[in-house]
Amino acid sequence: MPGMVAALGLDYAVCVDQETAPGDDGNARAAPPKTRQQAPERPVRVPRPILGGLASDPRLPIWVIRVVVAAAAAIGFTVWLGWRLGLTAAAVIVIADIVYRSRTTSVIPAEVRVTFAQRRTARRLASLRTAGYHSLTRRAIPGSDSVIDHLVVGPGGVYAIDSELWDRRLPVRSVRSVLYHGPHSQKNRLAHARWEAGQASALLSEDLGREIRVRPAMVIYGPTVPWHVANLDGVDVFGGGRVRKYFSQQTKNSRGSRLDAEEIKEIHDAGARALPPAH
């Protein structure tokens, strides 16, 4: 027992000496305090910019216009016939506008429509290689922001194909060679397709040193196209299910001026040089 007490006393003395070891000047020096292990920092939650998110919503301008028109109608009817009819008129205007836009506005984003239509046309064009048709997909027109969806070269000639995915709820029709999708005229789309074909023709002709004619065409997916092939304002327009039949017919129609395999390769290579891939 005395030995145990002595041992405990020795341990206590050692601990005291370590905690208050003398410094160089002979004075007692406290041992450095023990450092506490810091707790891991919690991730800082950044508040979501509610107003910024609303500002980037493409539906915001529609709702602003809708609210302004409804408020104006509510004020007018309230002053004229009372607040009950004013509130009713505002509600009717909002509901009518929502129904109208749901029937005339596509629910598919534009970028999704473009890529989906291009992929479907590209698959159909790939099956035409055995018939001598070769294509370049998504080729940029230098000096512009425009992209040719498909440049097709084959026995029947050279074509600039525009792939479109439209809202299937709206009908496709033509009036005096003008293409309509529901109530919306597609005259500008046809003009742009002609312009793209003209640009491709100029670039290919410059590269090869001779005139190369490029024919514009538009392939439509979504709604039913009520004709086989229609030339509307200088552009061949047809449904996506008729891609193969369209080029088969073009081969038949060009019996006297078909491009041979060497010419097809030459024009195809010129297209790869003159029209770089779009990013």
N-to-C CA span, the chain: 88
The pLDDT tens digits of the residues spanning 29-58 come to 444 444 444 444 554 444 444 444 444 444
Query: In this model, does residue 191 exceed pLDDT 80?
Result: yes
pLDDT band with cut points at 50, 70 and 90 for residue 80: confident
Query: In this model, does residue 65 exceed pLDDT 50?
Result: yes
Write out the chain in H/E/C secondary structure.
Answer: CHHHHHHHHHHHHHHHHHHEEECCCCCEEECCCCCCCCCCCCCCCCCCCHHHHHHHCCCHHHHHHHHHHHHHHHHHHHHHHCHHHHHHHHHHHHHHHHHHHHHHCCCCCHHHHHHHHHHHHHHHHHCCHHHCCEEEEEEECCCCCCEEEEEEEECCEEEEEEEEECCCCCCEEEECCEEEECCEECHHHHHHHHHHHHHHHHHHHHHHCCCCCEEEEEEEECCCCCCCCEEECCEEEEEHHHHHHHHHHHHHHCHHHCCCHHHHHHHHHHHHHHCCECC
Domain ranges within the chain, ordered by starting residue: 59-104, 110-274
What's the pTM?
0.61
Average pLDDT taken over every residue of the chain: 80
Query: In this model, does residue 119 exceed pLDDT 60?
Result: yes
The pLDDT tens digits of the residues spanning 130-150 come to 999 999 999 999 999 999 999
The pLDDT tens digits of the residues spanning 217-259 come to 999 999 999 999 999 999 999 999 999 999 999 999 988 889 9
Query: In this model, does residue 263 exceed pLDDT 60?
Result: yes
Model pLDDT, residue 116: 82
Residues paired with 221 in a beta bridge: 165
Query: In this model, does residue 203 exceed pLDDT 90?
Result: yes
The pLDDT > 90 percentage for the chain reads 55
